[in-house]
Structure 1
């Protein structure tokens, strides 16, 4: 069984449901926080499952929380999504749909205090910078890490940029995406905020690739 571990949100929407439908195979959703069912509840009913962490960073959940729960139920955990080129491509596609990069881009990630926890956001910023070499593309974070998105936007405004796009390196709507919308409304010069990426077709393909990469080992065990 494929189990997709997601963070969970106080503002759940249809984004994750669209991802599951796009997989075209049975899959269960398990939550790490806020929502139910929890990862432990799902794995207790499906021992030996393959867990794909739908997480864009290598923070606490990916490195500590998910593996610890999976071990209790003899489940296999795949690699997360941090640093995958398809993640950057999905963020870039959403950026173009939102109206393009403008004269500067802030790549907004969730943020983590753990070593390597923000590497995924930095990787997306590098990929977008390569795609748009004539404008600044800078990373920023919604919590836990610095600079914050607001700080980064103000830095760019202070440098004279007046058409700044926030490229959302987040999976689904929630308090962080709401905060980004508030920044757009409050600060002149932020002309667009791109949509989160969990329901982008590239993410569905990536989740299936993660699952298929370990499935033969699970069947042979």
Structure 2
């Protein structure tokens, strides 16, 4: 939302009626404020769906399995948000991922929330985890990847283009259509 020249406010008027599927992992400021505000400023010419994050647990699992055999703990490393609702959603992701993997998963936020990735790692170590991996809870590579590397642990690549992401976008788009095309 804030790192690209092309904005919704510029794009939506030229697009006509649209459906905006927020490709965000949590319901932070961009999802709850920036996107609705941009749509409002374009006189509501778009519908907004829910963000895709809650449907990406399989992608996180797949990125972890790409590292090889899973160890005995995982740090889920998201950006973090000033919105506690978004952070609660990320904690719920960690709980679901833990159930999916059968291993403890601790969240380590990079900013705006606690614990940090290093603190999450310390919690896992205190609980007895010795072979810990980091699940990068971002869509694209960037600043956080470099900061995660400082932990010195096996680390997943970002979610990126994954079947679960594509399915989440398509499912939300189809559900938001005014008339089903089939």
Q: Report the TM-score, using the length of structure 1 for normalisation.
A: 0.74
Matching of residues 17-56 of structure 1 within 5 Å: 32-56=1-25
Measure how far apart 1:66 and its partner are.
0.4
Partner of 2:135: 167
Higher normalized strand content (fraction of residues): 1
> What are the within-5 Å matches in structure 2 for residues 42-191 of structure 1?
42-73=11-42, 74-84=45-55, 87-133=56-102, 135-184=103-152, 190=153
- 1:198 aligns to what SS in structure 2? coil
Q: Could you tell me how far apart the structure 2 residues matched to 1:81 and 1:175 are?
A: 22
TM-score (structure 2 length as normaliser): 0.89
1:53, distance to aligned residue in structure 2 (A): 0.6
- Determine the C-alpha separation between the residues in 1 that align with 2:172 and 2:105: 29
Partner of 1:25: none
C-alpha displacement at 1:152, in angstroms? 1.1
Unaligned runs of 5+ in 1: 1-31, 185-189
Deviation of the 1:218 alpha carbon: 10
Stretches of 4+ moved more than 4 A in 1?
Answer: none
